Amino acid sequence: MKFKALELTRRSTLGAVAGAAIAVFGVTAPANAADFNLRMQANTGPGLTPYIALEEFVENVRAMTGGRVEIQLFPVSALFPPSEGLEAVSTGIVEMGLTTGGYFAGKMGPLATMESGLPGAEASAWERNAFFYEKGFIDIVREAYAEQGVHYVAPNLGSPWELVSKVPLNSEADFAGKKIRGFGIEAEWFQALGAEAVNIGGAEIYTALATGVVDAVRWGDESQNLAQGLHEVGKYYIKPAPMPAPNNHILINQATWDSMPSDIQAIIEGAARLASMKYLTLTALSRGPARAELEAAGMEFTTIPADEWASMQQKVRAIWAKYGEHDERTARAVALLQEFLTELGR
């Protein structure tokens, strides 16, 4: 039986959040008509955990602003391809978007890759959250995105991106000569480990693994890999995750943002942070049952030893450390990340 995401509903903290907003911002009743009617495209589709979290974001913004802001949410590719999200928001095709920074590295440089998350860096979404908000990485990111005509509202923190393989991958040596689905910095890392990186889209990963186009694929967490049916074509589930703390992000058109009063800006940013917490909560509920179903189907979970993994991570750190040579802003970001990892004892 296919795993169903625990029949997750949007029973949320909406009532409490809305009540807090009323107390703080003095909202007493919805307006007859919204002051701001916004369109927003996601990079995922209905029924999936990130989309459920985004639906709650829309509801929270409506409630917390007393109806002054209405957001019409569209699923992935309804209005434009995900790779064109930055341009779509900056030019006003939509006012908001849930997009992925890795698509924009060609236009924005390696900082866009860093913003999406890096292998060999933070080990969890909570560390990633701390890097953004406590260490100030979000300020550097906002500088960069402002130059593109958008306001970077918040990262949308997510669950790990993990490996499913047809063959055992228990050490660095096992990667040599293997064909692994990956792109961007992951591709560089896999190549440094002696593997061949293959860039294929998400819709193709099942067939690619089934037919031997690749030996392994990097995709999502247990529930996402189960939903893709990867246990049917790959026997081994490899831990740790190559990308343990990735994130998407929420953008808003800069002119739209500048036209908003400060209380609405604060509500949107706060609701966006809540959306991350919702996403992480839903995945926390779904990953355990999904793993049990994968194991029942015969999938073998294996873990690369800690000392071996540490050596592999050093190779990818050397790759992203060179990002600092690109420009002054990225150099600040790399230095900040290295400082943070030192503080964490890594």
Which amino acid, one-letter code, is at 332? R
Domains of the chain and any CATH numbers: 14-158+245-287 (3.40.190.170), 161-244+300-343 (3.40.190.170)
Please tell me the predicted confidence (pLDDT) of residue 182: 85
Contacts of 232 (CB under 8 A, 6+ apart): 206, 210, 297
Which amino acid, one-letter code, is at 346? R
pTM of the model: 0.85
Distance separating alpha carbons of residues 5 and 283, to the nearest angstrom? 9
Please tell me the predicted confidence (pLDDT) of residue 2: 39
What are all long-range contacts of 323-326, with beta carbons under 8 Å and residues at least 24 apart?
323/110, 323/111, 323/113, 323/114, 326/109, 326/110, 326/111
Q: Which residue has the higher pLDDT, 42 or 6?
A: 42
The lowest-confidence range among 42-56, 243-257, 298-312 is 42-56
Please tell me the predicted confidence (pLDDT) of residue 299: 98
pLDDT digits (tens, 9 = 90+) for 65-96: 999 999 999 999 999 999 999 999 999 999 99
What does the block give as tokens for 176? 């040599």
- What's the whole-number average pLDDT of the chain? 90
